[in-house]
Amino acid sequence: MKTRITEMLGIQYPIIQGGMMWVGRAEMAAAVSNAGGLGVLTALTQPTPEDLAREIERCRSMTDKPFGVNLTLLPSINPPPYAKYLDVIIESGVKVLETAGNNPGEHIARAKAAGLKVIHKCVAVRHALKAQSLGVDAISIDGFECAGHPGEDDVSGLVLIPQAVSKLSIPVIASGGIADGRGMAAAMALGAEGVNMGTRFCATQEAPIHDNIKQALVAASERDTRLIFRTLHNTARVLRNAISEEVVSIERKGGAQFEDIRHLVAGARGRAALETGQPDDGIVTAGQCVGLINDVPTCAELLERMVAECRASLKAAVAWAN
């Protein structure tokens, strides 16, 4: 499949793996890249910039195909050394950077000056326009269906994707709510030139998380996600489990502060749940597309199936138009 995204990134299929905390490791990124998509390492999954350098080399030992690195800038009293992480990304020879979060301007400028292709992931067209003005090469637009942080505007991909396409001159990648070739076809019909998936890639054989978590994703329906941090104006979509239900219950009582739920949503606790296979012991990020996940294929099987289904769906739509 040939779009501006495949040409820009040097990949076979316009399918990108999301930069997922604790999941975007070398095993995951290499498997997606080897399957013809773009695998993405998550910089902040690595404790230090030096650890990221080692993870990049580990990924390079597993694939000779292009892969990228995600650098998400999070609001924090004690922020990670973002500039040093970016130093490592540039010095390692990685050619694709995915940015997300707050005020990425200086990092985008440095990456562009070093010759990297920059994809900025955002949840609103106004943010996409700002990123375009900063010189990014593509926008990944995240609809309300997505896992993680969908923003506070609550706009679905069906509206957000064509809106972004109509207002931007750079390529748009559809993110959120996509787990199969039908969703990919729909996104491309709306004008997107690629898709970004996170939840679907968690339920693959190569994903570096416990099989119990993968089976929980397979068992979940489209109604089995919860919006937490809603009252804190930092909404996050996660899998419905004992922890997320408790968080929602605390928030519904009114007046909740982050300190009231900190012990439930701690990142270390979520990481442990992913690694030990206890789906009710921590926050597990998941999008509404979890309801479309029915198996745990290899990444190669998933991409080949998606592309075939996408082509069939687009062909059927063309036939109806005639």
Instruction: Give the DSSP letter string of 241-305.
Output: SHHHHHHHHHHHTS---HHHHHHHH-HHHHHHHHHHT-TTSS--B--GGGGG------HHHHHHH
What is the distance of C-alpha 272 from the center of its chain? 20
DSSP annotation string for 72-106? EE---SS---HHHHHHHHHHTT--EEEEEES--HH
d(CA 174, CA 260): 35
- Give the pLDDT score at 168: 98
Average pLDDT, the chain: 97
Average pLDDT score over residue span 263-281: 95
Q: Enter the pTM of the model.
A: 0.96
Measured distance CA(94)–CA(112) in Å, rounded: 12
Of 102, 99, 129, the residue nearest 117 (C-alpha): 99
Between the CA of residue 100 and those of 26, 65, 276, what are the distances in Å?
A: 20, 23, 28
Which pLDDT band holds residue 213 (cuts at 50, 70, 90)? very high
* The domain over range 7-206 is classified in CATH as 3.40.50.620: no
Average pLDDT in the 215-241 region? Answer: 97
Q: What angle do CA 274, 280, 285 make, to 5 degrees?
A: 55
Helices 242-252 and 258-265, interaxial angle, to 10°? 180
Average pLDDT over residues 18-47: 97
C-alpha–C-alpha distance, residues 288 and 241, integer Å: 14
Look at residue 76 and tell me whether its pLDDT is greater than 80. no
Q: Quick one: pLDDT at residue 211?
A: 98
Burial class (CB in 10 A: 0-12, 13-18, 19+), 169: exposed
The domain ranges of the chain are 7-206, 211-288
